[in-house]
Chains A and B, each alone.
Chain A
Amino acid sequence: MTLRKLKNIKSEYDVVVIGAGLGGLTAANMIARRGHSVLLLEQHTVLGGLAAYFRRKKHIFDVALHGFPVGMIKTCRKYWNSDISSRIVKLKGIRFDNPQFQLETDYSKDDFVRILTEKFGIPHSTVTDFFEHTRNMNFYDGDKRTTRELFEQFFPKRDDVWRLLMEPITYANGSTLEDPAISYGIVFSNFMSKGVYTFTGGTDLIIKMMEEELAKNSVDVRAKVLVEKVTTENGKVSGVIANGEKIKCKSVFSNANLQSTILDMIDKKDIPQSFREQTKKMRINNSSAQVYIGIKASEKLDYIGDLLFTSTAEKFSEKAMLSKSVTSRTFSVYYPSFRPGHNRHTIVSSSNADYKDWANLSDEQYKTDKEHLAEDTLDKLEKYIPGVRNKIDHLEVATPKTFERFTRHVGGSSFGTKFEGLDVATALPKHLPGLFFAGSVGIIMSGWLGAANYGVIVSNEVDKYLRSLDDQP
């Protein structure tokens, strides 16, 4: 990367925000609204982090806009503006298709109660108890049980029910049966209130509207700027070094990767060795592979659902879901009404992927494996869109390597860290006053809603910190 000089910025800010993912964007907006000066720096050419989009030919592909919980409406209204929140609409059809069951749902609680009782024959009281239990799961309870134990309690030996309950959440946040039940319960309950929602106009529009709001609130934003170091003075944050330049600030809010923030950006002498060790031990979540499919302008697709959870595996197997030969594909289908005025169909296929399976291949093998994934995905899509190969004019694959390249996340992680990352992130300001972190950690702080809300929660800590500095003589 060539280092560009940072033009027209102030010599000093109250806060520098590193990384313009949804957490960084929302925090920058909230901190600025509280009257502090903010500089937001993003290493990539565009803002959004994993809330990414890209243009190919006449298509616009959404990398991560597959559906978020209804809570996103309130979050956008409160922490952004009502123009943004008013564009959020409900997805109509979520489909499941695998050898164990085929069904269509709006993914609301009412509909899931109906499906679990009528289709799966689970007693009504068990279903309502399960919903009640997951809704009341509280992060502060310290419940150490796993999701597997939770399922065993409510639906023993029903791996079809487990599949219905787990597949969408594994897709949404990368969590598995062995992760803490709390990380399942919170995300499941968020979605299960009123269904799955999306943003009319696409990722490009929501990011553009957020940029406009940041400008209104006087946030300085610079892209293609890599923060190399967080500097300190008297044991507190004093600034950053970005693109080789020193910028003074009282506080740093990192929305970068948690490991690289602690291990690469901070000088060893500024934090205890034991905290560095704790950071190194933290497990990273899995990554994703995606296939982007553009439909020719001349083709019209029938409605086949908005989100399709498909798999040809006979039984639900988590190991299979994370392996390279995974048969499960989640198709997000974007109809012309999703991006008014654009009038194109696109399909994004996603599956979980392990970085190790893609990291050390020869160039030739990497290319072959990508082609294989694309062809295999089209084979699977053929069932839902007959003759699909003749209807497309663009086909492209992203692997964990691609996610690593664009987000600079360790291991191309698309869901941050496992549960223990939350403790590391929370402890960071205790070890280095003035340095705060909010990014995809602990599974629950992941996804659109988790990322934005986490940005707000930590921006509150930043505001508190800045006020405490003002109160000192």
Chain B
Amino acid sequence: MDKSQLREAVIDIIKSIAPDEDLNGIDGEKPLREQIDLDSMDFLDIVMELRVRYKVDVPEQDYPALNTLQGTVDYLHPKMGNV
């Protein structure tokens, strides 16, 4: 997966968790929580979906990397480049 495909994959997961949120205008550099209504359980859901869909494990100490959309893509790229 290249970075633009990864971005789509992550957006797809967020859509399934927060179906009422408009994700078109997301600024990749700004914290997700400032732009859409996501709580700590939603973040856990994102981590669970990443494992189920792409078999990638995000340990708890790495959660801060998922703060922004761009940060998430950059973090996942080395782990999922071959998926």
Cα separation A463 to B50 with both chains bound (whole Å): 12
* Cross-chain contact B41 with A75 (CB below 8 angstroms): yes
Contact of A456 among B17, B39, B44 (CB under 8 A): B44
Beta-carbon contacts of A62-75 to B below 8 Å, as 1s and 0s?
00000000010011
Q: Which of A65-93 contact B (CB under 8 A)?
A: 71, 74-75, 78
CB distance from A262 to the nearest CB of B (A): 23
Could you tell me if B52 and A460 are in contact, using CB atoms closer than 8 angstroms?
Answer: no
Chain A residues with Cβ under 8 A from B41's Cβ? 71, 74-75, 78, 453, 456-457
CB proximity of B51 to chain A, nearest CB, Å:
7
On chain B, the number of residues with a Cβ less than 8 Å from chain A's Cβ atoms is: 11
Is B27's beta carbon under 8 Å from chain A?
no
Within 8 A of B (CB), among A432-457: 453, 456-457
User: Cβ of B47 < 8 Å from any Cβ of A?
Assistant: yes
- Interface residues of B: mostly helix, strand, loop or mixed? helix
Measured CA separation A453–B48 after assembly (Å):
14
Instruction: Report chain A residues within 8 Å CB of B52.
Output: 34, 463
Interchain residue pairs A-B with the least CB separation, the first 8: A460-B48, A453-B41, A34-B52, A460-B44, A457-B44, A78-B45, A456-B41, A78-B17
Once the chains bind, are B51 and A467 in contact (CB under 8 Å)? yes
Within 8 A of A (CB), among B41-57: 41, 44-45, 47-48, 51-52, 55, 57
Q: Which residues of chain B in 22-45 are interfacial with respect to chain A, using CB atoms and an 8 Å cutoff? A: 39, 41, 44-45
A157 adjacent to chain B (CB < 8 Å): no
Query: Given contacts A71-B39, A75-B41, A453-B41, are A460 and B17 in contact (CB under 8 A)?
Result: no
B49 to chain A, nearest CB (A): 10
With A71-B39, A78-B17 in contact, do A464 and B51 touch (Cβ < 8 Å)? yes
Chain B hits for A467, CB < 8 A: 51, 55
B-chain residues with CB within 8 Å of residue A457 when the two chains form the complex: 41, 44
Interface of A (DSSP majority class): helix
Minimal Cβ-Cβ distance residue in A for B41: A453
Interchain nearest-CB distance for A22 vs B (Å): 15
19 contacts between A and B (CB under 8 A): A34-B52, A71-B41, A74-B39, A74-B41, A75-B41, A78-B17, A78-B41, A78-B45, A453-B41, A456-B44, A457-B41, A457-B44, A460-B44, A460-B48, A463-B51, A463-B52, A464-B57, A467-B51, A467-B55
Chain B residue numbers with a CB within 8 Å of A71 are 39, 41
Question: Given the complex, which residues of B lie within 8 Å of A75, measured CB to CB?
Answer: 41
Give A75's nearest chain B residue, CB to CB: B41
Closest B residue to A33 by CB, please name it. Answer: B52
Measured CB to CB, the residues of B under 8 A from A are 17, 39, 41, 44-45, 47-48, 51-52, 55, 57
**In the complex the two chains form, what is the Cα distance from A464 to B55 in whole Å?**
10
Most chain B CB atoms below 10 A, which of A71, A78, A457: A78
With contacts A34-B52, A453-B41, A457-B41 known, what are 13 further pairs, Cβ within 8 A?
Answer: A71-B41, A74-B39, A74-B41, A78-B17, A78-B41, A456-B41, A456-B44, A460-B44, A460-B48, A463-B48, A463-B51, A463-B52, A467-B51
Q: How far is the CA of A259 from the CA of B50 in the complex (A)?
A: 34
**Alpha-carbon distance A460/B50, docked complex (angstroms):** 12
Q: How far is the CB of A137 from chain B (nearest CB, A)?
A: 13
Within 8 Å CB of A463, what residues of B? 48, 51-52
| A71 CA to B55 CA, complexed, in Å | 29
Docked pose: A460 CA to B52 CA in angstroms: 10
- Measured CB to CB, the closest approach of chain A to B64, in angstroms, equals 11
Which chain A residues lie closer than 8 Å to B48 at the CB level? 460, 463
Give Cα A463–Cα B52 distance, bound, in whole angstroms.
9
Considering the complex, give the chain A residue whose CB is closest to the CB of B60: A140
| CA A460 to CA B44, docked complex, whole Å | 8
Smallest CB gap from A467: residue in B: B51
Known interface pairs A34-B52, A78-B17. Does A460 touch B39 (Cβ–Cβ under 8 Å)?
no
B residues within 8 A CB of A460? 44, 47-48
Chain A, residues 288-318, CB within 8 Å of chain B (1/0): the string is: 0000000000000000000000000000000
Q: Once the chains are docked, how many angstroms separate the CA of A463 from the CA of B55?
A: 11
- Kindly report which residue of chain B lies nearest to residue A449, judged by CB atoms: B41
Chain B residues with CB under 8 Å of A453's CB are 41
With both chains docked as a complex, state the minimum distance between the C-beta of B63 and any C-beta of chain A, in angstroms: 10
Given the complex of chains A and B, what is the CA–CA distance between A464 and B48 in angstroms? Answer: 9
Bitwise interface map of A from 22 to 50 toward B, beta carbon under 8 Å scored 1, else 0: 00000000000010000000000000000
Residue on B nearest A471 in the bound complex, by CB: B55
B13: min CB distance to chain A, Å? 13
Q: Which partner residue on chain B sits nearest A30 by CB separation?
A: B48
> What residues on A are CB-neighbors of B51 within 8 Å?
463-464, 467
- With a cutoff of 8 Å between Cβ atoms, the chain A residues found around residue B55 in the complex are 467
Chain B positions within 8 Å of A456 at CB level: 41, 44
